[in-house]
Amino acid sequence: MVAKNKILIVDDDANIAELISLYLAKECFDTQIVGDGESALRAVRTYQPDLILLDLMLPGIDGYQVCREVRATADTPIIMLSAKGEVFDKVLGLELGADDYMEKPFDSKELVARVKAVLRRYKAHTGGSAAAPEEPADKIVSYPDLTINLTNYSVTYNGHRLDMPPKELELFYFLASAPGRVFTREQLLDQIWGYDYVGDTRTVDVHIKRIREKAGTSPNWKISTIWGIGYKFEVLQ
């Protein structure tokens, strides 16, 4: 029998917490509810959840501090729940280590979908376990004048190493590893940044522009704009 994923629900509003638990139980999740930050930290140790739904406005230790303390010892996925919808609050939560952020009130189907999506990304990254070893194989794509190495985060073009921040390099690698395939801006945002509601599709455009400026033009490949859709990496020879 397949073990159920365990979801820790941290919310001081008992009605909301019970409602969330009901939604998740219908999708075959196991749940535990706590109503304050201190209880949440204890439950992380004893219940060992696969994912935490964390309200920000809690009595005693708030959700931000709970997130900090969980992240100091574990990489358990965290989705923050809050009535605060300002970009500052979202960015702060994500910078503290949250994997996603949902504003209250939220749709039950969207909540369940977000839980499943975050768990999928987490399991794909860890192989289903926080202690899973990293893949031994190097992640490298090469063309006659270009090598993008995601293992050591380096880009070499025409024998010269290009200075690229992590997100530019990850975007470059992702496109170059699937030549000829068209990706929408939304797909790229989700693949590279993971949470499309914090930024917008202009983020992708800005990063593509910087990659093009640094790499210049090549007779062997190019990043093409597919107007109204997105981008693709094209091999020219």
Q: Of 73, 101, 126, which residue sits at a domain end? A: 126
User: Is 117 a domain residue?
Assistant: yes
The model's pTM? 0.55
User: Is 167 a domain residue?
Assistant: yes
User: Is 113 a domain residue?
Assistant: yes
What are the tens digits of pLDDT across the range 171-212? 999 999 999 889 988 888 888 877 544 556 778 898 999 999
Res. 37 pLDDT band, cuts 50 70 90: very high
What are the tens digits of pLDDT across the range 47-92? 999 999 999 889 889 999 999 999 888 888 999 988 776 666 777 7
In the chain, what percentage of residues exceed pLDDT 70? Answer: 86
Task: Look at residues 40, 33, 113, 34 and name the one whose alpha carbon lies nearest to residue 76.
Answer: 40
- 110 & 161 share domain: no
d(CA 220, CA 177): 15
Structural domain total, the chain: 2
CATH (domain of 11)? 3.40.50.2300
Q: Give the N- to C-terminal CA distance of the chain in Å, as an integer.
A: 52
What are the tens digits of pLDDT across the range 88-125? 677 777 777 888 888 888 888 888 888 988 888 777 66
Q: Could you give the residue ranges of the DSSP H alpha helices within 27-62?
A: 37-46
User: Is 134 a domain residue?
Assistant: no
Please say whether the beta carbons of 218 and 145 come within 8 A. yes
- 84 & 154 share domain: no
User: Is 131 a domain residue?
Assistant: no
pLDDT of residue 204: 87
Res. 132 pLDDT band, cuts 50 70 90: very low
**Domain extent for 113:** 6-126
- 114 & 188 share domain: no
Whether the per-residue pLDDT at 137 is higher than 60: the answer is no
Res. 126 pLDDT band, cuts 50 70 90: low
CATH (domain of 209)? 1.10.10.10
- 150 & 77 share domain: no
